[in-house]
Amino acid sequence: MYRLWATIQKDVRVLSRDKLGLTFLFLMPLLLVLIVTSIQNNTFELINKNKVPLLVCNRDTGASSLQFIRALDTVGLFTVRQVPADQDDQSVRDRLQKKDAFLAVVVPADFSAQMAIRTKSLSGKALNSFGLGDSTGGGARDAAASTNEGLPITLYYHPILQETFRRSAQGAIYSALQLVESRQLLRTLYFSINEKELPDTLENELMTRRAKINEMPVSRNGDRSTPNASQHNVPAWTIFSMFFVVVSLGSGIVREKLNGSFIRLKTLPTNYFVAILSKQVTYLAVTMVQAALIFAVGVWIFPLLGLPKLNLPADWAALIFLSLLCGWCAVSYAICIGVFAQTEEQANGFGALSIVILAAIGGLMVPDFAMPGNFQTVMKLSPLHWCLSAYYGLFLEGGKLKDVWSNVLSLFLVIAGLQGITLWGLKRKNLI
Amino acid sequence: MNPAKRMNGGPAIQINDLSFGYPGQSDLFSGFNLVIDAGKRFGLFGPNGAGKTTLMGLMTGLLVSSGGGIRLLGKEIKKHKSSVNFLFGFVPQDFSFYHELSPVENLSFFGAWSGLSSAVIRKRTGELLDVLGLYAVRDKKVKDFSGGMKRRVNLAIGVIHQPPLLFLDEPTVGVDVQTRHAIIQYLKQLNADGTTLIYTSHQLSEAEDLCDRIALIDQGRIIVHGDPDHLLSEHRQDGLEGLFLHLTGKNYRDQSV
């Protein structure tokens, strides 16, 4: 035990005197979390809080187009900015290219007229099918063809917009259009049947009383707050930082193997396994300090910088246990790399690059649900995936340890595998 | 009592019918035999590539022979790997310590790995730093030391556990005359206290001063073995350098890799 303690003391001393290594281990991860969270927070706010600017060029002078614009405003997704009606399509496109907005709608001059024809035709068809006859006259028959065509609204979008967002915007515009059309159709039908205008009170009641949708986030603890950029990013980049100890630890093992001290260690009556055990303890402590620092920054510093505060899971014991497990997994991986690498360059290069790859396939950079089908299987090979899944179980789903037991079990298996490979490597290289 | 004294008398090292070859190469040693008596200051010499470092690696267990056996103080190293490691100290040619640490911190760590208690480590550290002239810099980082000071730290670590056998691979390479003198005097003192020294070097004048037995090896074979004075007179040479060139020739030996 004294040998292990002396080795831990030695490792801590060597590490504490490596200023660059310490910067890499502690300062860089903090910067990384800060930068990535800031960037992603903008995206989150764009989607969750901010409305998207929408240019509307209304060339129509009728009531329907005004209703349509009002409807766009009430959809909740857009900040409608009207541009002069005399601007041509090229001018509208130019404004998008200058990023005045990312979306623009051009309402044609005959929008209201087309809307009237379309709704008359539709109401005529409806009355016929009800057996009430067509009281709308021959005009409807003439315009029957137009019922099968959409109204000629033009939507311009900046190519920078992602398809999913574009589809959301398109859906919202359709919804506004549908609202205007339904209102118009209702009026026409009412007039056709009752030969008088639809009362405003009835119209409002019919148009505004929609079925409600109850939104319920599926968190384990019943928390209804929407996860923010901090909840997503802090756990993910904490794991990434933990695994990046490979640069310090992996190359440290190689350096020790290559320099003279290793020769002497091999001639001393202590198994090299003690050195490996010491490194596990020392660097596990390093990963714990990393996690504590990053979480502390998320809780106390983020709000000062205008970023959403990190909400730590209620189950503290689970958080500590999972952090230890993630740290151990990271250290096991780093030691495995260090044992097999022949040079420091190999340990640094392969170690760092492999972490980036494992982070990518593990779902740290792109959410796992957004990955292609093949990667859904491949991601399970990444130790970072299991760490992230377990952390998300606590941070995003509000779970407790019992809720993430399958991830814990998987992590234990990954650690056992890495330790097994390391032991095999040590024996193969006659190091233990 | 110095543990080294308890081991004095009888053969310190017995090498019987030793075979060893590096992978992909023909055997460097085949049927190699050597006995080194306890209490001697034994010098192992030879040109580059002769097998000195390999033989030292085999004697310290860093390399494993393919045949034959090596006994250190009666214990077969293949069978008693862990206990044999208590019997010897090793001072490699490379600086074998942590440059980021101080002499005290290095000695504490290597002392623990040598199986010493913290109390013994503290006592031995004080003694060694004092006798090797490192006490004043005991808490400074070794990376800032001169080559001579690093050599003394290297030596101190090798003897912290007072081993009865001490392997020294070029312990004075690259040091000034004063440091060389101090190291040689310290080694003689260790030997007087009962430590058997097994020493390799290319500093043959130094070897003349230190060694009371020598073996000259070349291509994995012992060319001569015995008392230096006797060998010099037998081969009518004035010094070990002349004897060396006389027996191994003047051609380069390290022209292939």
pLDDT at site A144? 47
Task: Give pLDDT < 50 ranges for chain B.
Answer: 1, 3-4, 6
Query: Sorting pLDDT into bands at 50, 70 and 90, what band is A294?
Result: very high
Largest CA distance in chain B: 53
For residues A320-343, give the mean pLDDT.
94
Give me the residues paired with residue B88 across strands. B165
Q: Are B40 and B212 in contact (CB under 8 A)?
A: yes
In a domain, A254, yes or no: yes
Q: Is pLDDT of A267 > 80?
A: yes
In a domain, A134, yes or no: yes
Q: Are B204 and B239 in contact (CB under 8 A)?
A: yes
Partner-chain contact B108 A430, CB within 8 Å: no
Q: Are B166 and B197 in contact (CB under 8 A)?
A: yes
Q: What is the mean pLDDT of chain A?
A: 84
- Closest by CA to A387, choosing from A312, A342, A322, is A322
Beta-strand pair A154-157/A103-107 = antiparallel
In a domain, A222, yes or no: no
- Closest by CA to A337, choosing from A402, A249, A269, is A249
pLDDT at site B4? 47
The answer to whether B101 contacts chain A (CB < 8 Å) is yes
User: Does residue A327 share a domain with residue A236?
Assistant: yes
User: Does residue A330 share a domain with residue A306?
Assistant: yes
pLDDT at site A139? 47
Domain that holds residue A315: 2-44+229-428
The two three-digit tokens of residue A154, written as one number:
């033009």
Q: Which of B61, B96, B101 sits opposite A10 (nearest CB)?
A: B101
Site of tokens 């290219």: A97
- Closest by CA to B161, choosing from A3, A181, A332, is A3
User: Does residue A310 share a domain with residue A357?
Assistant: yes
pLDDT at site A188? 86
Rounded to whole angstroms, the Cα distance separating B187 from B172 reads: 11
More confident residue, A73 or A366: A73
Q: Is pLDDT of A287 > 90?
A: yes
In a domain, A39, yes or no: yes
Q: Is pLDDT of A60 > 60?
A: yes
Largest CA distance in chain A: 107
Q: Which of A14, A261, A279, A428 to mutate to test the interface with B (most CBs of B within 10 A)?
A: A261
What ipTM goes with this model? Answer: 0.86
Rounded to whole angstroms, the Cα distance separating A253 from A245 reads: 12
Q: What is the pLDDT of residues A132-172, one digit of tens each?
A: 765 554 444 544 444 445 567 888 988 877 777 788 888 88
Partner-chain contact B115 A270, CB within 8 Å: yes
User: Does residue A284 share a domain with residue A264?
Assistant: yes
Counting every residue written for chain B, the total comes to 257
| Total number of domains constituting chain A | 2
Partner-chain contact B97 A261, CB within 8 Å: yes
Q: Are B141 and A17 in contact (CB under 8 A)?
A: yes
Q: Is pLDDT of A51 > 90?
A: no
Q: What is the pLDDT of residues A375-388, one digit of tens each?
A: 777 888 888 988 98
User: Does residue A403 share a domain with residue A262?
Assistant: yes
Query: Sorting pLDDT into bands at 50, 70 and 90, what band is A309?
Result: confident
User: Does residue A139 share a domain with residue A196?
Assistant: yes
Name the 3-class secondary structure at B27.
coil
Residue of B nearest to A273 (CA): B113
pLDDT at site B256? 58
Query: Sorting pLDDT into bands at 50, 70 and 90, what band is A328?
Result: very high
Rounded to whole angstroms, the Cα distance separating B250 from B246 reads: 8
The two three-digit tokens of residue B192, written as one number:
């007087």
User: Does residue A36 share a domain with residue A61?
Assistant: no
Beta-strand pair B29-37/B11-20 = antiparallel
The answer to whether B78 contacts chain A (CB < 8 Å) is no
Domain boundary among A177, A208, A239: A208
Q: Are A156 and A106 in contact (CB under 8 A)?
A: yes
The residues, ordered by sequence, that sit 6+ positions from A317 with a Cβ below 8 Å of its Cβ are A401
pLDDT at site A77? 81
Q: What is the pLDDT of residues A206-249, one digit of tens each?
A: 777 667 777 666 666 566 556 677 888 889 889 999 998 998 88
Q: Which domains does chain B have, with CATH numbers?
A: 8-87+165-171+197-257 (3.40.50.300)
The answer to whether A343 contacts chain B (CB < 8 Å) is no
Partner-chain contact B109 A269, CB within 8 Å: no
User: Does residue A130 share a domain with residue A9?
Assistant: no
In a domain, A224, yes or no: no
User: Does residue A406 share a domain with residue A280?
Assistant: yes
